[in-house]
Amino acid sequence: MAQKAAKTLASRNASLLLRTHLTTLCLHSIFLLLHWLFNRPHSLTPYYSLACPTLVIEFYLERLGRPKYNAADGSLRSPGEDLGASGLTEYMWDVLYWTWGCMGAVCVFGDRAWWLWIVVPLYSVWLAYTTVMGMRTGLAGMGGTGAGDVPAGESKRQKKMEKRGGQRVQYR
């Protein structure tokens, strides 16, 4: 049972990467098949500019999460990074999934469905805004209360004590 967590992470990463590569292969094949075989009026410019950069993201996730094994005995050398981690990795998965959805919509509805991809930059702007505003409110309380500052509101415990008739303090 040595390195059980590492082996679990390695198998989960390997299966997730395999599923991701198969899905990407299928979607790109369907798109290109519809474009060339059935002579659909798709322009390849949005495809190259919007869908192909996700191949770079997929390559990065492959390098990040692919487990590495020793060649001599086949033992696990490194399980790879957790592909389910939050933060930038999570954002990359969101971009990848959204691009898959846009490619599917383009296959069904035509080139105008590429406009759905505008959600990604808008989502990035919204994330940046909420992060900055959260930091701003978090840093606002670090200045202390000066003479002109309004004191902070009462806690629930303080409000209950006031409701019962105030805090009873005994001095000796």
Residue 54 lies in a domain: yes
Residue 15 lies in a domain: yes
| Cα torsion 48, 54, 57, 59: sign | negative
Q: What are the pLDDT digits (tens) for 40-71?
A: 666 788 888 888 889 999 999 999 999 998 88
Cα 61 to Cα 80: distance, rounded to the nearest angstrom: 10
pTM for the full model?
A: 0.68
Residue 31 lies in a domain: yes
In the chain, how many domains are there? 1
Token pair belonging to 167: 């805090």
Look at residue 72 in the predicted model and tell me its pLDDT: 87
Query: Which has the higher per-residue pLDDT, 23 or 135?
Result: 23
Going by C-alpha positions, the residue among 61, 60, 55, 105 that lies closest to residue 83 is: 61
Residue 43 lies in a domain: yes
Lowest model confidence (mean pLDDT) among 3-12, 56-65, 94-103, 156-165: 156-165
Q: Tell me if 91 sits within 8 A of 128, measured CB to CB.
A: no
The parent domain of residue 76 ranges over 4-131
φ/ψ region of 3 (left if φ > 0, alpha if ψ in -120 to 50, else beta) reads left
Cα 156 to Cα 120: distance, rounded to the nearest angstrom: 40
Q: Tell me if 71 sits within 8 A of 62, measured CB to CB.
A: no
Residue 102 lies in a domain: yes
Look at residue 92 in the predicted model and tell me its pLDDT: 92
Residue 147 lies in a domain: no
